Structure 1
Amino acid sequence: MTKPPKPKPLLQDDKPVRSRPRKPRNPAQPNLPLDPMPDRIEPCLALLKARPPKGDDWVYEVKWDGYRLSVHVEPKGIRILTRGGHDWTDRFPAIKQAALWLPVGTAILDGEAVVLDEQGRSDFGLLQQSLGGRGGKKSSSEAIFMAFDLLYFDGHDLRNSELSMRRHLLEDLVPAGEQGDIRLSEEIEADGDQLLASACEHGLEGIIAKRRDAPYRSGRLGDWLKIKCVQSDSFFIVGYEKSTVARGQIGSLLLAGRKGDNLIYVGSVGTGFKEKDAWVLREMMGSITQKTPPIKYAGRRKNVVWVQPTLIAEIEYRAWTDDGKLRHASYKGLREEQDNTAVHSLDQDVRLMGINAEP
């Protein structure tokens, strides 16, 4: 494949930011007993914060906008699993081939599949197009894998090791600066506020902060933090407003988040649709219409068609209004069912009120 653009470097003067060089492992060190290789590992998830953390305990990376994957290098071959544990090996043939070339017998790499735009920024919409859209079965030859953690390495389970040790081994396996289909997500040591400002100036989604000394713990426990330039979350599509002039005849989509076992209306989105995607979405919604609204709705929109809450849309937005609606929302695309993305939970917004929080 043609090599995708190189990600735009942050905080550069005359040289791009690079991860620190690491010393290779001393072969005279004793070998550790072998650990059984996990069939699957639940991912460590980043907790949203409004501002970067302070202190030397934290290191930073770019926040990638794609599909979270784990790449398993096993004795019988390569497996590529989604966040929800679905096998997508055949959908990423270039990443699979690159994994076969890694100089390791067994390994589990944690990272993100992305497609880069001409400026080297990850673009969720381009990734979806390369896979044929939601429900599509296409294989993506354009996606690359940005590796940011190493959970298993040549017979050793690394989850109880500190991040700094896991990064040491990962950078030996995937050296910084290489431009193949598996690349290293660069570790950046910088002031968090300055790095976030630089990321936003470059048009990136945001940054990730990670504790240097933390083990790898599955779930959203605060060892990893995400700080975004622009908010984005997943919401159910519960209806749409018909239009004779808009793309796909979709004037706007009506959206809902979760609150306990209920769905709560969070507003609408009427921008961000591409012509082809809008017609595909319109056809999908046409097959799941229903007469009654799946939410409590007191709005006055005309020509609303209600749909079963099965389609999950990724929505970019600037903030929340005081009455709990999305502000300046823009449609990014539909999430895959097998991506296992959680729909935004309004329960957690109560305790995080005032900083435009997400779960």
Structure 2
Amino acid sequence: MRRVTSQDRLRFIPPQLPRLVEEPPVSDDWIHEIKYDGYRTQVIIDWDGARAYTKTGVDWTKRYWPIVAAAESLGARSAIIDGEVIAPTASGSPDFHALRSAMTWNAERLAFVAFDLLHLNGQDLRPLPVVERRAMLWDLVKPADGVIQFSQHVEGGGAEFFRGVEKLGLEGMVSKRRGAAYRSGESDAWLKIKCYEFSEMDLLGVKREPGKPAMALMGRGGKYAGSAFITLPKDIRERLWKRVQAGRKAPVGVPAVSGVEWLKPGVRARVKHLRGEAKLRHASVKGIVED
């Protein structure tokens, strides 16, 4: 481990990012955590006090002042902690929709869920296995029942853990190789597995190109929500094509996309998509809701 002199002001480290996969790893070589629905944040503590940075290194210390104040009371001379800022509900689960409001009007509601420790008291911990870093993190933040919390994990049993996450209605899970070092950027040593959900949305238009799957442009709450593959039986697709309104212009607020045929208003569809995303991801149309 590289030692850092006490005169050095610690700098932001680009975070390690999990790779999105469809299924959780099943071997015992992995640990599994809940994927918290919030903003990835790095908290740095050194002789200059504590600071908080976004995933891209933007200084949000003023926005996260209760978290920064709590970090300064942890007792570390210096530390770099990786985690997620959330707005917990009364039950403790994250409420992403309340997060932006809490940041602006009620920062006391924010919490920081710590899940990794990159630096502690002059030592660069990134070469250590994740399980060792997390043990040191727990010793630093325990009992972790206030503003700064700790992301608990289980060892092995990835499939069972994922079923539990789905049942609780959470966004997903993150799996990490127990012996992996910390490396900035996307890595196969960290995997994220997200839960799917079904939503009923407005079907605004379709894009059909020879040799390619048909795409649907979807709306939700009067706003553009993204696109989804059309995975429907042939007879239902044919009925859908009849709803195309020749010459109709794009609805207000929908980005200009070439080759789109806009539908008559009133068509709704059942869409399968990843949970917890601002725009549709890995989405597919599974059914049409008739008028």
Give TM-score scaled by structure 2 length: 0.72
Distance 1:268 1:290 in 2: 13
What CA distance in whole angstroms lies between the structure 2 residues aligned with 1:117 and 1:229?
20
Structure 1 residues 301 and 178: alpha-carbon distance in aligned structure 2, compared to 1, 3 A threshold: same
1:314 matched to 2:288? The reply is no
Q: Are 2:129 and 2:179, in contact at CA under 8 Å, matched by a contact in 1?
A: yes
Q: Which residue of structure 1 lines up, in the alignment, with residue 235 of structure 2? A: none
Residue identity in the other structure for 2:132: M
How far apart in 1 are the matches of 2:57 and 2:108?
21
Tell me which of 140, 148, 163 is aligned to 1:173: 140
Matches within 5 A, 1:110-121: 110-121=82-93
Percent of matched pairs sharing the same residue: 34
For the residues of structure 2 that align with 1:101 and 1:327, how far apart are their CA atoms?
Answer: 51
- Deviation of the 1:160 alpha carbon: 1.4
1:34 matched to 2:4 = yes
Q: Contact 2:204/2:216 (CA < 8 Å) preserved in 1?
A: no
Supply the distance in 1 between the matched residues of 2:161 and 2:108 (Cα, whole angstroms): 31
Whole-angstrom CA distance in 2 between matches of 1:272 and 1:124:
20
Aligned-residue CA RMSD (Å): 3.4
1:291 to partner: Cα distance:
11
Q: Secondary structure at the match of 2:116?
A: strand
CA contact under 8 A between 2:80 and 2:119: conserved in structure 1?
Answer: yes
Structure 2 CA distance, aligned partners of 1:115 and 1:253? 33
Letter in 2 for 1:296: S
Maintained 8 Å contact 2:29/2:156:
no
Q: Which residue matches 1:93? A: 65
* Pairing of 1:42-57 with structure 2 (within 5 A): 42-57=14-29
Deviation at 1:162, TM superposition (A): 1.4
1:296 to 258, 261, 276: 258
Matched residues in 1 for 2:173 and 2:29: separation? 16
Q: Structure 1 residues 32 and 157, CA, compared in 2 at 3 Å: closer, same or farther?
A: closer
Instruction: Tell me which residue corresponds to 1:268.
Output: 218
Select 2:185's aligned residue among 219, 224, 229: 219
Residue matched to 2:148: 182
Alignment TM-score, normalising by the size of structure 1: 0.59
Deviation at 1:76, TM superposition (A): 1.1
**Aligned pairs (5 A) from 1:131-280:** 131-132=103-104, 138=105, 140-175=107-142, 178-230=144-196, 267-271=217-221
Other structure's SS at 2:69 match:
helix
Aligned to 1:203, the other structure's residue is in SS state coil
Counterpart-to-counterpart distance in 1, 2:197 and 2:156: 23
**Amino acid in the other structure paired with 2:187:** L
2:204 and 2:45 mapped to 1: Cα distance?
A: 41
| Gapped regions of structure 1 (runs ≥ 5) | 1-30, 133-137, 233-250, 255-264, 274-288, 304-312, 329-359
The correspondence for 2:74, drawn from 91, 102, 105, is 102
In our comparison, the structure showing a higher alpha carbon Rg is 2
Q: Partner amino acid for 1:270?
A: R
Residues 65 and 291 (structure 1 numbering): CA distance in 2 closer, same or farther, change over 3 Å?
closer
Q: Given the superposition, is the C-alpha separation of residues 272 and 166 from structure 1 closer, same or farther in structure 2, using an over 3 Å criterion?
A: farther
Once superposed, which parts of structure 1, at least 4 consecutive aligned residues long, lie more than 3 Å away? 31-38, 251-254, 289-294
Does the 8 Å CA contact 1:253/1:270 hold for their aligned counterparts? no
Task: Give distance in 1, aligned partners of 2:252 and 2:149.
Answer: 46
In the alignment, the residues of structure 1 paired with residue 100 and residue 204 of structure 2 have an alpha-carbon distance, to the nearest angstrom, of 19
1:46 aligned counterpart, secondary structure? strand
Q: Partner amino acid for 1:126?
A: A
- Which structure: greater strand fraction? 2
In the alignment, the residues of structure 1 paired with residue 94 and residue 169 of structure 2 have an alpha-carbon distance, to the nearest angstrom, of: 10
Q: Secondary structure at the match of 1:71?
A: strand
Letter in 2 for 1:143: L
Task: State the alpha-carbon separation in 1 of the partners of residues 178 and 99 from structure 2.
Answer: 30
Determine if contact 1:109/1:150 at 8 Å carries over to the other structure: yes
Distance 1:67 1:272, change over 3 A: farther
